[in-house]
């Protein structure tokens, strides 16, 4: 399972002119399920993401997680957006191949599972819409952008 985490001061997803998900300070999570992924990869990715210390403490050091923001009385939100294009393979030419991405039904199932687990573990979780044409607006804080990958079991 692949994710790109962006530390943001604000982010939102717009579909057909309507905002469907929105957060203040927190993490924009671009999420992609790959062939062979299961709940194991989703759980491991979520656990890592929630504990990742990429937010500044009082001394300005990256020493707080998105969960620590919530404990500090701040809105440490998660905005989870499906993005199968993270699985792009461009090694064979100029047109990306997405054969490494999970099939749509399995991708949706794992995305829904990830979101449900995130909602059970974190107080503020918003989403985009799976397989929709979305416009993602964000203010990247730092900028801090972290790629994460939990490899499928072979």
Hey, which residues does 149 pair with through a beta bridge? 2
The verdict on whether 83 is a catalytic residue reads: yes
Q: How many helices and strands, by DSSP H and E, does the chain display?
A: 3, 8
Q: How far apart are the C-alpha atoms of 134 and 62, rounded to whole Å?
A: 31
The verdict on whether 40 is a catalytic residue reads: no
Q: How far apart are the C-alpha atoms of 9 and 27, rounded to whole Å?
A: 9
Q: Which of 85, 99, 129, 145 is catalytic?
A: 85
Q: Which of 6, 41, 84, 114 is catalytic?
A: 84
End-to-end CA separation in angstroms for the chain: 13
Q: What is the SS3 assignment for 3-62?
A: EEEEEEEEEEEEECCEEEEEECCEEEEEEECECCCCHHHHHHHHHHHHHCCCEECCCCCE
Q: Which of 83, 114, 126, 127 is catalytic?
A: 83
CA–CA–CA angle 142, 24, 120 (5° rounding): 110
Active site members? 83-85
């Amino acid at each position: 399972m692949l994710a790109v985490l962006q530390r943001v001061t604000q982010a939102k997803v717009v579909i057909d002119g309507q905002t469907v998900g929105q957060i203040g300070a927190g993490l924009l999570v671009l999420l992609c399920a790959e062939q062979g992924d299961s709940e194991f990869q989703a759980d491991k990715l979520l656990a890592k993401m929630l504990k990742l210390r990429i937010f500044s403490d009082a001394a300005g050091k990256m020493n707080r997680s998105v969960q620590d923001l919530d404990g500090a009385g701040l809105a440490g939100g998660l905005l989870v957006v499906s993005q199968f294009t993270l699985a792009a393979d461009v090694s064979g030419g100029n047109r990306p191949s997405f054969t490494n991405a999970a099939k749509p039904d399995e991708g949706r199932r794992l995305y829904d599972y990830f979101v449900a687990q995130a909602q059970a573990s974190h107080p503020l979780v918003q989403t985009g819409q799976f397989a929709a044409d979305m416009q993602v607006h964000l203010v990247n804080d730092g900028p801090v952008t972290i790629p994460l990958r939990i490899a499928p079991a072979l």
